[in-house]
Amino acid sequence: MTSYPALKMLINGEWIADGEAGSMDVVNPATGQVIGQCPKASPAQLDAALAAADTAFVTWSKTPGAERYMILRRAAELLRERAPDIARAVTAEMGKPRAQAIGEIAATGDVIDFLGEEAKRRGGRMIPPRSASVIAQMVTHEPVGPCVLLTPWNFPVHLPAKKIAGALAAGCTAILKPAENTPASAQLLVECFTDAGLPKGVLNLVFGDPGPVSEHLIAAPSVRKVSFTGSTAVGKHLGALAAAGMKRFTPELGGHAPVIVSKTADLDRAVAACAATKFRNAGQVCVSPTRFLVAREVYDKFVAEFAARAGKLKIGDPGADESVDMGPLAHPRRIAAMEAVVADAGGNRGEIVTGGSVITGNGFFFQPTVIANPAPDSRFMTEEPFGPIAGIVPFDAIEDAVQIANSLRYGLAAYAFSSDLDEAHYLGRSLRAGMVGINQLIVSSPETPFGGVGDSGFGSEGGEEGYLAFTDTKLVIMAKAGG
Ligand code: NAD
């Protein structure tokens, strides 16, 4: 692929370029230029996708797990083969540096493999009966039915793939509606599944305005599960719609991850890891380390070294220069959000140590920004920034740091650096989050569950939980015919 692909939806096995509800521009955030036209599905086209998923469920749900696995495994192989081209689309659509895009795709292949294997591995269980007349009590995991998968732009291959692989492995069919600004990434991913031999209708892809499309799809009686990754506000709205139809709902929402750096931590290692991870994907990561709570004894050194590293990052168009560390933000609304956070800091609400400004030009670039000692009630400390902004706050007692870390309604990821074993155990137990990383900032792997608590959502993706999330638990009790 040398240029941006022609965009098409997939409905009942047919690739469709004609959006009956019109089309929308796809913009390269590094240049501000329109690079494609994305078709928008009409209600009739959405209904066709719903009908296809409903019909295909009858046979796909009965297809043996080993056969489902073979198709998923082939899809993962194709994804790896096509990684160079797919990475180019990811970079063009949302500005991720190429190495990070390639890394995202490699991790995605592993997730598809793992969830595909679950289709072969995961049986039910037998429970000993209480009565001699009962022969067996069997618990099985049945596919829930057709699923609606709603995904964002920050990991435009990985997040759709996690949902698709969990659903398909479990025997569900699906309709994917990816973010409006990253349609090609989703399309190229879906092509890997169709080229792997997936029967028509099992996976459908539609584009369009997120509100009306989601509402139409969630309201359909055939849909039994909704899986959404995105903001807390939208997640609450979609959760209410799913609840009205008594549909299963998995929300993976925002976060504002704290990082506690104890005075016992290996400081050089902690600073290097924090600065490298904070600005990855321009900070547009739900588990991005963001609120740094640093022991007063090492605070000044941490601030100086973290800010120095942030200030040295190479910023630019990752489509034109593969060596950039940080690309643009995904769209102009993220720039406005960063400006609002920075405008609220300053004065006694915090000191901007480095960055703080828009980088002028055609793209949507914002400087890597470090705020020292932001006020507890500042926007930075209370709202998810979802961008290249870090705040650093000193603490005296480790219990105070835990209290600050746990003070928000978010609870996705939390991190701590400590070289004291007792303290590390205390931090692991005390931090309120779905995922806690001690002395490391990676909390996502194919084998482990990924999910949050509180305003960060509930349920998990990845790991065996990522398969079970698409199943209903069923009990069959068999007694002797003669009593
Ligand atoms: P946004 O709310 O405009 O869009 C975020 C995503 O939600 C997009 O994919 C969009 O298609 C979808 N969306 C928006 N309204 C919707 C609706 N009514 N129904 C269904 N889907 C809808 O925000 P943004 O500025 O693009 O992104 C920043 C915000 O999104 C942050 O607050 C962040 O928490 C959240 N976000 C979270 C993740 C995550 O991994 N949890 C990923 C991306 C964005």
Tens place of pLDDT per residue across the chain (483 aa): 458 999 999 999 999 999 999 999 999 999 999 999 999 999 999 999 999 999 999 999 999 999 999 999 999 999 999 999 999 999 999 999 999 999 999 999 999 999 999 999 988 999 999 999 999 999 999 999 999 999 999 999 999 999 999 999 999 999 999 999 999 999 999 999 999 999 999 999 999 999 999 999 999 999 999 999 999 999 999 999 999 999 999 999 999 999 999 999 999 999 999 999 999 999 999 999 999 999 999 999 999 999 999 999 999 999 999 999 999 999 999 999 999 999 999 788 899 999 999 999 899 999 999 999 999 999 999 999 999 999 999 999 999 999 999 999 999 999 999 999 999 999 999 999 999 999 999 999 999 999 999 999 999 999 999 999 999 999 999 999 986
Please list the active-site residues: 252, 286
pTM here is 0.97
> Residue 237, Cα to own-chain centre: how many angstroms?
18
Is residue 413 lining ligand 1, measured as CB closer than 6 Å? Answer: no
Determine the distance separating the centroid of ligand 1 and the alpha carbon of 459, expressed in angstroms.
Answer: 18
Those residues with Cβ within 8 angstroms of residue 58's Cβ, 6 or more apart along the chain or in another chain: none
Q: Give the gyration radius of the chain's Cα atoms.
A: 23
Helix (H) / strand (E) element for 74: namely helix 65-81
Longest CA–CA separation in the chain, Å: 83
Ligand 1 contacts CB of residue 434 (under 6 A): no
pLDDT at 1: 46
Residue 121 has a CB neighbour count (10 Å cut-off) of 13
| List of domains in the chain | 9-253+457-475 (3.40.605.10), 257-446 (3.40.309.10)
Q: Which residues pair with 366 in a beta bridge?
A: 358
| Ligand 1 neighbourhood includes 252 CB (under 6 angstroms) | yes
Q: What is the DSSP letter of 431?
A: -
Which tokens go with 51? Answer: 């009908």
Which residue has the CA at smallest separation from atom 38 of ligand 1?
230
CA of 366 to the centre of ligand 1 (A): 19
Per-residue pLDDT, 333: 94
Ligand 1, atom 10: closest residue by C-alpha: 179
Those residues with Cβ within 8 angstroms of residue 121's Cβ, 6 or more apart along the chain or in another chain: none
Q: Which amino acid is at 238?
A: L
Q: Which amino acid is at 285?
A: V
**How far separated are the first and last CA of the chain, in Å rounded?**
67
CA of residue 395 to ligand 1 center, whole Å: 33
Going by C-beta distance under 8 Å and a sequence separation of 6 or more, which residues neighbour residue 81? none
pLDDT for 483 equals 61
Phi, psi of 296 (to 5 degrees): -55, -30
Nearest-angstrom CA–CA distance, 207 and 224:
20
Helix (H) or strand (E) holding 440: none
Residue-wise DSSP of 144-202: --SEEEE--SSSTTHHHHHHHHHHHHHT--EEEE--TT-HHHHHHHHHHHHHTTPPTTS
Helix axes 183-195, 65-81, angle to 10 degrees: 130
Q: What would the 3-class secondary structure string for 300-326 be?
A: HHHHHHHHHHHHCCCECCCCCCCCCCE
Question: Residue 246 region, left (φ>0) first, then alpha (ψ -120 to 50), else beta?
Answer: left
Tell whether the torsion through CA atoms of 428, 434, 439 and 445 is positive or negative. Answer: positive
Identify the CA nearest to 259 among candidates 249, 247, 250, 272: 272
Atom 40, ligand 1: residue with shortest CA distance: 286
Which pLDDT does position 62 carry in this prediction? 97
Structure token digits, residue 427: 């931090």
| 231 pocket-lining for ligand 1 (C-beta < 6 Å) | yes
Beta strands in 253-407 (DSSP E): 257-261, 289-295, 351-354, 358-359, 365-366, 369-372, 389-395
Residue type, 182: T
Please report the pLDDT score of residue 346 as a whole number.
Answer: 79
Cα of 287 vs centre of ligand 1, distance in Å, is: 15
Which helix (DSSP H) or strand (DSSP E) does residue 68 occupy?
helix 65-81
Q: What pLDDT is recorded for position 226?
A: 98
